[in-house]
Amino acid sequence: MNFFWSLLIFAAFCAECTWARVAANPFVDQQLTPKGRITGGTNARKGEIPWQVSLQKRGYHFCGGTIVDREHIVTAAHCSQGLVLGRTSITVVAGSIHKDNGIRVGVRSIKIHPDYVRSSQGYDIAVWEVDPSFIWSVNINPVRIANSRVKDGWLMTLSGWGKTDQSVDRLPDYLQKVEVGIVNIDLCNALYMEKHHMSIFENQICAGGRGKDACFGDSGGPLVKDGVLHGIVSWGDSDCVSVPGIYTEVASFATWINSSIVRDSK
């Protein structure tokens, strides 16, 4: 496992540790980081993003996720490995723009995409089954799963509780949102090849940059357009400014998501 993904897994599952909660610039080779800090955004309004959830370990936020039906959320695979279920330490918090409030539910099962490998960047997606089921309200509602690919230039809503600035030591209390545009995949690939000698997978999309993006703390969170989930926050550059962020494209995994939900619901 290379250092980038070792750090990514450690950061996702050590949210209760002081380092994971307050590190100003977790990085790999001074450049790459799991995504998680919304930059250039504003506070979300109550009920504005009712599908957003906070994944918490021992009461500390470590990743985001998205409600897709009464019993399931979708998040990143790198947020999901190494978790031990059957204990009260892992909870999903829904229904509030304040990360410490809301309805807390447990986790019955976690399905990570079978092709996900920690040393690779692709297939960064997982489905969690919650228990008890969500009860729909103004503040808790599902998003629809995309079945068609994004188009260059589309404006998307990115949301999460990640850090708003590298200079601060704590996560924001209130859910942040920002509008980001879809960046052409060939252009994005060229930018990452030039700066990091890394290629973007076909099942990934690029969005944001230029001061509006996600970084450390928002992994697994939603990239949404018109109530449809198109992307899952995955990874990107540590400065969250110079190149776009990388997201798992949901449309590439719609069949797998739906089959995972159906199997769990039987």
Residue 119 identity: S
User: What is the signed CA dihedral for 235, 239, 245, 248, rounded to 10 degrees?
Assistant: 10
Residue 222 · residue 44 · CB < 8 Å: no
DSSP one-letter string for 35-47 = -B--BS-EEPPTT
> Partners of 231 in the beta sheet?
249
Those residues whose C-beta lies under 8 Å from the C-beta of residue 94, and which sit 6 or more positions away, are 52, 53, 54, 67, 102, 103, 105, 134, 139, 140
Catalytic residue among 69, 124, 213, 237: 124
Tell me the C-alpha distance between 91 and 105, whole Å: 6
Is 219 a residue of the active site?
yes
Tell me the C-alpha distance between 119 and 97, whole Å: 34
Is 115 a residue of the active site?
no
Catalytic residue among 54, 61, 69, 78: 78
Tell me the C-alpha distance between 107 and 24, whole Å: 30
Is 124 a residue of the active site?
yes
Those residues whose C-beta lies under 8 Å from the C-beta of residue 71, and which sit 6 or more positions away, are 108, 129, 130, 131, 133, 134, 261, 264, 265
Residue 70 · residue 180 · CB < 8 Å: no
| Tokens found for residue 74 | 């979708």
3-class secondary structure, 216: strand
Catalytic residue among 54, 159, 219, 234: 219
Catalytic residues, which ones?
78, 124, 219
